[in-house]
Homo-oligomer: A and B are copies of this chain.
Amino acid sequence: MAKYMVSFMPTNRSAMVEEGTTIAEAARQADVFIKNLCGGEGVCGQCRVQITSGKAEADEQARAFFSEEEIERGYVLACQTEVHDNLEVLIPPETRMEGAKIMTGEAAGPEAEGGAKPLVRKIFLEMPEPTLEDNISDIERVSRELRRKIGWHSYEISLSCLRRLSEKLRDSQFKVTASVAKRGGGYKILRIDPGDTTSSHYGLAVDVGTTTVVAQLVEMSTGRILGVSGTHNLQASFGEDVISRIIYACKKDGLGPVHEAVIKNINQLIDDLTSEKNISRDDIIAMVAAGNTTMSHLLLGLLPCSIRLEPYVPTADIYPQIYAREIGVQINPEGILETLPSVASYVGGDIVAGVLACGIPDHPEVRGLIDIGTNGEIAIGNN
Protein backbone atom coordinates (compact mmCIF):
# COMPACT_ATOMS: atom_id res chain seq x y z
CA MET A 1 0.00 0.00 0.00
CA ALA A 2 1.21 3.51 -0.77
CA LYS A 3 2.73 5.52 2.06
CA TYR A 4 2.70 9.27 2.50
CA MET A 5 4.59 11.75 4.64
CA VAL A 6 2.47 14.01 6.84
CA SER A 7 4.32 16.96 8.42
CA PHE A 8 2.81 19.01 11.20
CA MET A 9 3.50 22.70 11.65
CA PRO A 10 4.58 24.62 13.66
CA THR A 11 6.34 21.75 15.50
CA ASN A 12 7.76 20.28 12.24
CA ARG A 13 7.20 16.73 13.47
CA SER A 14 6.19 14.21 10.86
CA ALA A 15 5.06 10.62 10.35
CA MET A 16 5.11 8.27 7.36
CA VAL A 17 1.66 6.64 7.21
CA GLU A 18 -0.26 4.25 5.00
CA GLU A 19 -2.76 5.61 2.50
CA GLY A 20 -6.19 6.00 4.10
CA THR A 21 -4.88 6.73 7.63
CA THR A 22 -6.63 9.74 9.19
CA ILE A 23 -4.70 12.92 9.82
CA ALA A 24 -5.57 12.52 13.53
CA GLU A 25 -3.92 9.09 13.60
CA ALA A 26 -0.90 10.48 11.74
CA ALA A 27 -0.63 13.17 14.43
CA ARG A 28 -0.73 10.51 17.12
CA GLN A 29 2.10 8.61 15.42
CA ALA A 30 4.11 11.83 15.24
CA ASP A 31 3.42 12.54 18.96
CA VAL A 32 1.65 15.76 18.01
CA PHE A 33 -1.24 16.77 20.24
CA ILE A 34 -4.51 17.83 18.65
CA LYS A 35 -7.69 18.60 20.56
CA ASN A 36 -10.13 15.73 20.28
CA LEU A 37 -13.11 16.06 22.55
CA CYS A 38 -15.36 13.41 20.98
CA GLY A 39 -12.72 10.71 20.49
CA GLY A 40 -12.68 10.88 16.69
CA GLU A 41 -16.42 10.69 16.06
CA GLY A 42 -16.44 13.88 13.98
CA VAL A 43 -19.08 15.56 16.11
CA CYS A 44 -17.18 18.04 18.31
CA GLY A 45 -15.35 19.95 15.58
CA GLN A 46 -12.33 20.53 17.86
CA CYS A 47 -9.63 18.95 15.65
CA ARG A 48 -9.62 21.71 12.98
CA VAL A 49 -6.40 21.78 10.97
CA GLN A 50 -5.33 23.57 7.81
CA ILE A 51 -3.78 21.73 4.86
CA THR A 52 -1.01 24.01 3.57
CA SER A 53 0.60 21.65 1.07
CA GLY A 54 -0.74 18.53 -0.68
CA LYS A 55 -4.27 17.56 -1.54
CA ALA A 56 -6.95 16.73 1.04
CA GLU A 57 -10.56 17.80 1.19
CA ALA A 58 -13.00 18.20 4.05
CA ASP A 59 -15.65 15.51 3.84
CA GLU A 60 -19.24 16.47 3.22
CA GLN A 61 -20.46 16.15 6.79
CA ALA A 62 -17.45 17.99 8.26
CA ARG A 63 -18.05 21.02 6.03
CA ALA A 64 -20.71 22.16 8.50
CA PHE A 65 -17.92 23.09 10.92
CA PHE A 66 -16.28 25.59 8.55
CA SER A 67 -17.10 28.79 6.73
CA GLU A 68 -16.78 28.90 2.91
CA GLU A 69 -13.62 30.93 3.32
CA GLU A 70 -12.08 28.40 5.70
CA ILE A 71 -12.85 25.54 3.31
CA GLU A 72 -11.14 27.45 0.51
CA ARG A 73 -8.10 27.94 2.75
CA GLY A 74 -7.91 24.15 3.25
CA TYR A 75 -9.49 23.62 6.68
CA VAL A 76 -10.52 20.03 7.50
CA LEU A 77 -11.27 17.95 10.61
CA ALA A 78 -8.18 15.85 11.36
CA CYS A 79 -10.25 12.89 12.55
CA GLN A 80 -12.43 12.76 9.42
CA THR A 81 -9.84 13.31 6.72
CA GLU A 82 -7.83 10.53 5.17
CA VAL A 83 -4.30 10.83 3.82
CA HIS A 84 -3.97 10.23 0.06
CA ASP A 85 -1.02 12.53 -0.65
CA ASN A 86 2.07 13.93 1.08
CA LEU A 87 0.72 16.64 3.32
CA GLU A 88 1.85 19.62 5.32
CA VAL A 89 -0.65 20.33 8.04
CA LEU A 90 -0.79 23.53 10.08
CA ILE A 91 -2.33 23.19 13.51
CA PRO A 92 -3.96 26.51 14.38
CA PRO A 93 -3.44 27.80 17.93
CA GLU A 94 -7.00 26.95 19.06
CA THR A 95 -6.48 23.28 18.12
CA ARG A 96 -3.12 22.89 19.87
CA MET A 97 -2.89 21.21 23.21
CA GLU A 98 0.69 22.43 23.73
CA GLY A 99 -0.72 25.89 24.32
CA ALA A 100 -2.18 24.98 27.69
CA LYS A 101 0.12 25.43 30.66
CA ILE A 102 0.71 22.36 32.80
CA MET A 103 0.57 23.01 36.53
CA THR A 104 3.45 21.22 38.16
CA GLY A 105 3.50 22.90 41.58
CA GLU A 106 6.74 23.68 43.37
CA ALA A 107 9.85 22.05 42.02
CA ALA A 108 11.46 21.86 45.44
CA GLY A 109 8.88 21.24 48.13
CA PRO A 110 9.38 21.11 51.87
CA GLU A 111 10.64 17.96 53.59
CA ALA A 112 7.84 15.56 54.47
CA GLU A 113 5.89 16.46 57.61
CA GLY A 114 6.81 14.29 60.60
CA GLY A 115 9.73 12.58 58.85
CA ALA A 116 9.70 10.51 55.66
CA LYS A 117 7.93 7.15 55.74
CA PRO A 118 8.98 5.91 52.34
CA LEU A 119 7.25 3.07 50.50
CA VAL A 120 10.62 1.35 50.16
CA ARG A 121 13.36 1.59 52.78
CA LYS A 122 17.05 1.06 52.15
CA ILE A 123 18.91 -0.41 55.08
CA PHE A 124 22.67 -0.91 55.31
CA LEU A 125 23.57 -4.22 56.93
CA GLU A 126 26.97 -5.17 58.32
CA MET A 127 26.84 -8.84 59.22
CA PRO A 128 29.30 -11.15 60.93
CA GLU A 129 30.74 -13.71 58.50
CA PRO A 130 29.53 -17.30 58.97
CA THR A 131 31.46 -19.62 61.28
CA LEU A 132 30.96 -23.27 62.23
CA GLU A 133 29.12 -22.06 65.34
CA ASP A 134 26.98 -19.60 63.38
CA ASN A 135 26.29 -21.22 60.03
CA ILE A 136 22.69 -20.26 59.34
CA SER A 137 21.74 -19.81 55.70
CA ASP A 138 22.59 -16.60 53.86
CA ILE A 139 19.02 -15.35 53.64
CA GLU A 140 18.42 -16.14 57.32
CA ARG A 141 21.54 -14.08 58.14
CA VAL A 142 20.11 -11.15 56.19
CA SER A 143 16.69 -11.54 57.84
CA ARG A 144 18.26 -11.75 61.30
CA GLU A 145 20.09 -8.47 60.72
CA LEU A 146 16.94 -6.85 59.36
CA ARG A 147 15.06 -7.98 62.48
CA ARG A 148 17.74 -6.33 64.62
CA LYS A 149 17.45 -3.09 62.68
CA ILE A 150 13.74 -2.73 61.91
CA GLY A 151 12.01 -5.27 64.11
CA TRP A 152 10.52 -8.72 64.17
CA HIS A 153 8.63 -9.11 60.91
CA SER A 154 8.37 -11.76 58.25
CA TYR A 155 10.72 -11.14 55.34
CA GLU A 156 9.71 -12.40 51.92
CA ILE A 157 12.25 -12.48 49.13
CA SER A 158 11.91 -12.82 45.37
CA LEU A 159 13.69 -15.62 43.54
CA SER A 160 15.68 -13.22 41.40
CA CYS A 161 16.99 -11.47 44.50
CA LEU A 162 17.93 -14.78 46.10
CA ARG A 163 19.75 -16.09 43.07
CA ARG A 164 23.13 -14.38 43.36
CA LEU A 165 22.84 -13.57 47.06
CA SER A 166 25.59 -15.97 48.10
CA GLU A 167 28.09 -14.32 45.76
CA LYS A 168 27.04 -10.77 46.64
CA LEU A 169 27.46 -11.35 50.37
CA ARG A 170 30.90 -12.87 50.00
CA ASP A 171 32.17 -10.35 47.45
CA SER A 172 31.22 -7.50 49.78
CA GLN A 173 32.45 -9.09 53.06
CA PHE A 174 28.82 -9.34 54.24
CA LYS A 175 28.25 -5.58 53.97
CA VAL A 176 25.19 -4.98 51.83
CA THR A 177 22.21 -2.70 51.44
CA ALA A 178 18.74 -4.22 51.49
CA SER A 179 15.80 -2.46 49.82
CA VAL A 180 12.61 -3.54 51.55
CA ALA A 181 8.94 -2.74 50.89
CA LYS A 182 6.06 -3.13 53.33
CA ARG A 183 3.85 -5.98 52.26
CA GLY A 184 0.94 -7.20 54.34
CA GLY A 185 2.17 -7.64 57.91
CA GLY A 186 5.81 -8.02 56.88
CA TYR A 187 8.38 -6.83 54.40
CA LYS A 188 9.42 -7.94 50.96
CA ILE A 189 13.14 -7.78 50.20
CA LEU A 190 13.31 -6.28 46.71
CA ARG A 191 17.06 -6.01 46.22
CA ILE A 192 20.31 -6.66 47.98
CA ASP A 193 23.22 -4.59 46.70
CA PRO A 194 26.88 -4.85 47.71
CA GLY A 195 28.17 -2.08 49.98
CA ASP A 196 26.34 0.96 51.27
CA THR A 197 24.02 2.40 48.62
CA THR A 198 21.68 4.25 50.98
CA SER A 199 22.70 7.62 49.55
CA SER A 200 21.13 6.77 46.14
CA HIS A 201 17.52 6.18 47.00
CA TYR A 202 14.83 7.72 44.85
CA GLY A 203 11.13 7.38 44.28
CA LEU A 204 8.64 8.72 41.78
CA ALA A 205 5.23 10.23 42.52
CA VAL A 206 3.01 10.44 39.45
CA ASP A 207 -0.27 12.28 39.03
CA VAL A 208 -2.00 10.53 36.14
CA GLY A 209 -4.47 13.19 35.09
CA THR A 210 -6.92 12.86 32.23
CA THR A 211 -5.37 15.88 30.54
CA THR A 212 -1.85 15.99 31.93
CA VAL A 213 0.62 13.62 33.54
CA VAL A 214 3.00 15.09 36.13
CA ALA A 215 5.86 13.31 37.91
CA GLN A 216 7.93 14.28 40.93
CA LEU A 217 11.32 12.78 41.65
CA VAL A 218 11.61 12.30 45.41
CA GLU A 219 14.64 11.63 47.58
CA MET A 220 13.24 8.78 49.62
CA SER A 221 15.30 9.11 52.79
CA THR A 222 14.29 12.74 53.38
CA GLY A 223 11.09 13.11 51.37
CA ARG A 224 12.66 16.07 49.53
CA ILE A 225 11.31 16.75 46.03
CA LEU A 226 14.28 16.98 43.66
CA GLY A 227 12.48 17.70 40.43
CA VAL A 228 9.15 17.81 38.71
CA SER A 229 8.12 17.41 35.08
CA GLY A 230 4.78 17.38 33.29
CA THR A 231 3.36 16.53 29.89
CA HIS A 232 0.03 16.19 28.09
CA ASN A 233 -1.55 12.77 28.44
CA LEU A 234 -0.91 11.00 25.14
CA GLN A 235 -4.24 9.24 25.59
CA ALA A 236 -5.83 12.47 24.35
CA SER A 237 -5.61 11.09 20.83
CA PHE A 238 -8.17 8.45 21.89
CA GLY A 239 -10.57 11.06 23.26
CA GLU A 240 -10.27 14.01 25.61
CA ASP A 241 -12.59 12.92 28.39
CA VAL A 242 -12.70 9.68 30.35
CA ILE A 243 -15.90 8.45 28.69
CA SER A 244 -14.45 8.69 25.16
CA ARG A 245 -11.35 6.85 26.34
CA ILE A 246 -13.37 4.10 27.98
CA ILE A 247 -15.29 3.67 24.72
CA TYR A 248 -12.04 3.47 22.75
CA ALA A 249 -10.39 1.08 25.23
CA CYS A 250 -13.41 -1.24 25.14
CA LYS A 251 -13.35 -1.60 21.36
CA LYS A 252 -11.60 -4.71 20.03
CA ASP A 253 -7.84 -4.33 20.67
CA GLY A 254 -8.47 -0.85 22.03
CA LEU A 255 -7.14 -1.32 25.57
CA GLY A 256 -3.50 -1.90 24.58
CA PRO A 257 -2.90 1.43 22.78
CA VAL A 258 -4.63 3.52 25.47
CA HIS A 259 -2.67 1.74 28.22
CA GLU A 260 0.62 2.07 26.36
CA ALA A 261 0.10 5.78 25.69
CA VAL A 262 0.27 6.72 29.37
CA ILE A 263 3.21 4.35 29.97
CA LYS A 264 5.05 6.21 27.20
CA ASN A 265 4.23 9.49 29.00
CA ILE A 266 5.62 8.20 32.28
CA ASN A 267 8.80 6.80 30.75
CA GLN A 268 9.37 10.13 29.00
CA LEU A 269 9.01 11.97 32.33
CA ILE A 270 11.43 9.52 33.97
CA ASP A 271 13.88 10.21 31.14
CA ASP A 272 13.54 13.97 31.63
CA LEU A 273 13.95 13.86 35.41
CA THR A 274 16.84 11.41 35.51
CA SER A 275 18.85 13.26 32.84
CA GLU A 276 18.14 16.60 34.51
CA LYS A 277 19.29 15.34 37.92
CA ASN A 278 21.96 13.07 36.49
CA ILE A 279 20.80 9.96 38.32
CA SER A 280 20.22 6.45 37.00
CA ARG A 281 16.76 4.97 36.37
CA ASP A 282 18.00 2.02 38.41
CA ASP A 283 18.23 4.18 41.52
CA ILE A 284 14.44 4.70 41.41
CA ILE A 285 13.02 1.76 43.34
CA ALA A 286 9.44 2.82 44.01
CA MET A 287 6.64 4.66 42.29
CA VAL A 288 3.28 5.86 43.55
CA ALA A 289 0.54 6.74 41.06
CA ALA A 290 -2.69 8.59 41.70
CA GLY A 291 -5.46 9.12 39.18
CA ASN A 292 -9.19 8.97 38.84
CA THR A 293 -10.67 5.46 38.73
CA THR A 294 -10.60 5.26 34.93
CA MET A 295 -7.03 6.59 34.70
CA SER A 296 -5.92 4.03 37.31
CA HIS A 297 -7.56 1.24 35.31
CA LEU A 298 -5.93 2.36 32.06
CA LEU A 299 -2.57 2.76 33.79
CA LEU A 300 -2.68 -0.84 35.00
CA GLY A 301 -4.25 -2.20 31.81
CA LEU A 302 -7.54 -3.15 33.51
CA LEU A 303 -10.69 -3.18 31.40
CA PRO A 304 -12.63 -0.01 32.33
CA CYS A 305 -15.83 -0.85 30.38
CA SER A 306 -18.25 -1.37 33.26
CA ILE A 307 -17.26 1.94 34.91
CA ARG A 308 -19.33 3.69 32.25
CA LEU A 309 -22.45 1.52 32.40
CA GLU A 310 -25.07 1.25 35.11
CA PRO A 311 -24.48 0.17 37.89
CA TYR A 312 -21.01 1.73 37.34
CA VAL A 313 -18.72 -1.00 38.67
CA PRO A 314 -14.92 -0.77 38.39
CA THR A 315 -12.74 -3.90 38.16
CA ALA A 316 -10.96 -2.85 41.35
CA ASP A 317 -10.92 0.05 43.77
CA ILE A 318 -7.93 -1.25 45.72
CA TYR A 319 -5.08 -2.09 43.39
CA PRO A 320 -2.38 -4.71 43.97
CA GLN A 321 1.20 -3.70 44.66
CA ILE A 322 3.05 -4.73 41.49
CA TYR A 323 6.51 -4.51 39.98
CA ALA A 324 6.65 -1.36 37.84
CA ARG A 325 8.15 -3.49 35.06
CA GLU A 326 4.90 -5.46 34.82
CA ILE A 327 3.32 -2.49 33.06
CA GLY A 328 6.50 -1.42 31.25
CA VAL A 329 7.54 1.47 33.52
CA GLN A 330 11.29 1.76 33.31
CA ILE A 331 12.61 2.21 36.83
CA ASN A 332 14.71 -0.38 38.69
CA PRO A 333 13.58 -3.83 37.49
CA GLU A 334 12.77 -4.79 41.10
CA GLY A 335 11.06 -1.45 41.77
CA ILE A 336 7.46 -1.52 42.90
CA LEU A 337 4.39 0.47 41.92
CA GLU A 338 1.54 1.30 44.24
CA THR A 339 -1.61 2.86 42.83
CA LEU A 340 -3.69 4.85 45.30
CA PRO A 341 -7.09 3.27 45.97
CA SER A 342 -10.28 4.70 44.54
CA VAL A 343 -13.40 5.37 46.60
CA ALA A 344 -15.92 4.74 43.81
CA SER A 345 -16.16 4.71 40.02
CA TYR A 346 -16.11 8.50 39.90
CA VAL A 347 -14.14 9.35 43.06
CA GLY A 348 -10.61 8.24 42.42
CA GLY A 349 -7.15 7.93 43.88
CA ASP A 350 -6.42 11.52 42.90
CA ILE A 351 -8.92 12.68 45.54
CA VAL A 352 -7.55 10.17 48.04
CA ALA A 353 -4.06 11.56 47.40
CA GLY A 354 -5.34 15.11 47.84
CA VAL A 355 -7.09 14.25 51.11
CA LEU A 356 -3.88 12.66 52.41
CA ALA A 357 -1.68 15.54 51.21
CA CYS A 358 -3.95 18.11 52.90
CA GLY A 359 -3.57 16.22 56.17
CA ILE A 360 -7.35 15.80 56.55
CA PRO A 361 -7.07 12.41 58.33
CA ASP A 362 -4.28 13.63 60.63
CA HIS A 363 -5.90 16.61 62.37
CA PRO A 364 -8.87 17.14 64.68
CA GLU A 365 -10.10 20.35 63.00
CA VAL A 366 -12.29 20.03 59.91
CA ARG A 367 -10.39 20.68 56.66
CA GLY A 368 -11.56 20.73 53.08
CA LEU A 369 -10.22 19.87 49.63
CA ILE A 370 -11.69 21.30 46.46
CA ASP A 371 -10.47 19.75 43.21
CA ILE A 372 -11.42 22.00 40.31
CA GLY A 373 -10.74 19.83 37.28
CA THR A 374 -12.72 18.51 34.33
CA ASN A 375 -15.09 17.26 37.01
CA GLY A 376 -15.20 18.93 40.42
CA GLU A 377 -14.95 17.13 43.74
CA ILE A 378 -15.12 18.45 47.30
CA ALA A 379 -13.93 16.45 50.33
CA ILE A 380 -14.47 17.64 53.90
CA GLY A 381 -13.46 15.88 57.12
CA ASN A 382 -11.07 15.40 60.00
CA ASN A 383 -9.43 12.52 61.85
Contacts and interface: CB of A to CB of B under 8 A. Distances in A.
A303 B185 contact: no
Interface in A22-81: none
Nearest to A129: B311
A313 B162 contact: no
Given A166-B303, A166-B305, A186-B184, A314 B159 contact: no
A288 interface: no
Contacts of A135: 311-313, 345
A130 B313 contact: yes
Interface in A125-182: 130-132, 134-140, 154, 156-159, 162-167, 170
A184 B316 CA distance: 22
Contacts of A322: 159
Contacts of A306: 130, 138, 166, 170
B303 A136 contact: no
A137 B302 contact: no
B156 A315 contact: no
A284 interface: no
Given A167-B303, A300-B159, A305-B166, A130 B311 contact: yes
A138 B185 contact: no
Contact of A156 (B164, B185, B320): B320
A310 B130 CA distance: 9
Copies in the complex: 2
Interface residues of A, number: 45
Given A300-B159, A301-B163, A302-B166, A315 B138 contact: yes
A131 B170 contact: no
Contacts of A240: none
Nearest 6 A-B pairs (CB), nearest first?
A: A135-B311, A166-B303, A132-B311, A137-B317, A139-B316, A166-B315
Contacts of A139: 315-316, 318
A162 B302 contact: yes
Chain A binding surface, main DSSP class: loop
B315 A137 contact: yes
Given A138-B314, A163-B302, A310-B132, A320 B158 contact: yes
A92 to B, nearest CB: 40
A254 to B, nearest CB: 13
A362 interface: no
Interface in A299-342: 300-303, 305-306, 310-318, 320, 322, 326-327
Contacts of A303: 163-167
Nearest to A138: B315
B185 A314 contact: no
- Give the interface centre of A159, A163, A184 by most chain B CB atoms within 10 Å: A159
Nearest to A161: B320
Nearest to A165: B315
A339 to B, nearest CB: 10
Contacts of A154: 184
Contacts of A132: 310-311
Given A137-B313, A154-B184, A156-B320, 11 more contacts: A132-B311, A137-B315, A137-B317, A138-B306, A139-B316, A139-B318, A158-B320, A159-B300, A167-B305, A184-B186, A185-B185
- Give the interface centre of A132, A166, A311, A318 by most chain B CB atoms within 10 Å: A166
A189 to B, nearest CB: 10
A229 B327 CA distance: 39
A342 to B, nearest CB: 8
Nearest to A342: B137
Given A162-B302, A166-B302, A303-B167, A140 B311 contact: no
